[in-house]
Amino acid sequence: MNDSYLRKMDPIPDPLLPPPSLRLTVDRVALAANWAALDALSGTASAGAAVKADCYGLGVDRCVPVLRDAGCRTFFVAHWSEVAGVIAHVQGSQVAVLHGVLSEADCAYARATGAVPVINSLEQAELWTRTGGGPCHLMVDTGINRLGIALAEAGDPRIATLDIDILMSHLASADERTAMNRMQAELLREAADTIPHRRLSLANSAGIGLGEAFAFDLTRPGLALYGGVPREELAGHIRPVARIEAQLLQCRQIAPGEGVGYNATFIANTHMRVGTVSIGYADGFLRMRGAGNALHHEGRRLPILGKVSMDMIVVDLAEAPELVAGDWLQVPWDIADAAQQNGLSPYEMLTVIGRRLRAC
């Protein structure tokens, strides 16, 4: 892809734009350390990196250069629309597109950028070959029943025409102790006996925690890179990566009997000093995370009052009475802390991060 195309995608800076009232800080040292730890835990295999969904919400431009410089050489996205952002930092041939090719336009774009499709069906295999072929990866379904050819299709002539680099499958329950994990590993080995390939890959973040028997040649960590701990074996190796802060917009006094927010789901039973904070569900702080949760300032807990709005939440300032508009509060976003998730998975806590935070 030529430089002029990439330049068209760059945002135009506005010299008059004031600083945002939100902050998303990515600890680049922690991110690099997490990749290095996962690479080491992969044994003789190399660790790649799942960078789909804008690096799980933390930003391709922030994260991919860190992962590249740490030593990562294989990057996974889901959609073709994600390729350009990644190849601004790495070679196209290092990028794998998990959804494969559905049209001749997909195939043409793959060849123009150098990105490598993951073939998921006999139809995709036929399309890729008919439009010119070239290096590809192949997904074999071993039990998750999402994408991938069936094991019974491994000997199909359309598969034999492919130039396969990575032969891969995906664990369905790597975060659990189940015989299905071993079964899937064995089924991938069976497929490898039939299908010519250069590398084998099965383990995601949780799969790395299962041990070297699941690592094969390449592992594909995602969540753990960004601070998630999907298995206890990883707990001592993974560091938090994301830190989110939001500014106080206004502070006010409310009297007994007054409500806060939509539908007045919180009613004050005493005089209170409260603060309105510049973050809401449009930024990924969803309503389900409001009830019983709190923001923090220098270790002090500031409980959330009422419903989370699109752009604002209200907190109790009793523990921090000196705070004023413009002060910064810490927003809980430790994805390894189940207590703050309120029904969300760690994956959701990252990938729902809103556009305004990603732009910070």
Q: Is residue 52 flagged as an active site residue?
A: yes
Q: How many CA atoms lie within 13 A of 318 on its CB side?
A: 11
Are the beta carbons of 357 and 242 closer than 8 angstroms? no
Are the beta carbons of 83 and 64 closer than 8 angstroms? no
Q: Locate 169 and state its tokens.
A: 């499958």
Q: What are phi and psi of 355, to 5 degrees?
A: -60, -35
Are the beta carbons of 155 and 184 closer than 8 angstroms? no
- Strands (E) across the chain are located at 22-26, 46-47, 49-50, 75-77, 95-97, 116-119, 135-139, 163-168, 199-201, 218-219, 242-254, 259-260, 266-267, 272-277, 294-297, 300-305, 313-316, 328-331
Q: Which residue out of 52, 109, 281, 307 is catalytically annotated?
A: 52
Are the beta carbons of 185 and 210 closer than 8 angstroms? no
Q: Is residue 262 flagged as an active site residue?
A: yes
Q: Which residue out of 109, 262, 281, 347 is catalytically annotated?
A: 262
Q: Looking at the annotation, which residues are catalytic? A: 52, 262
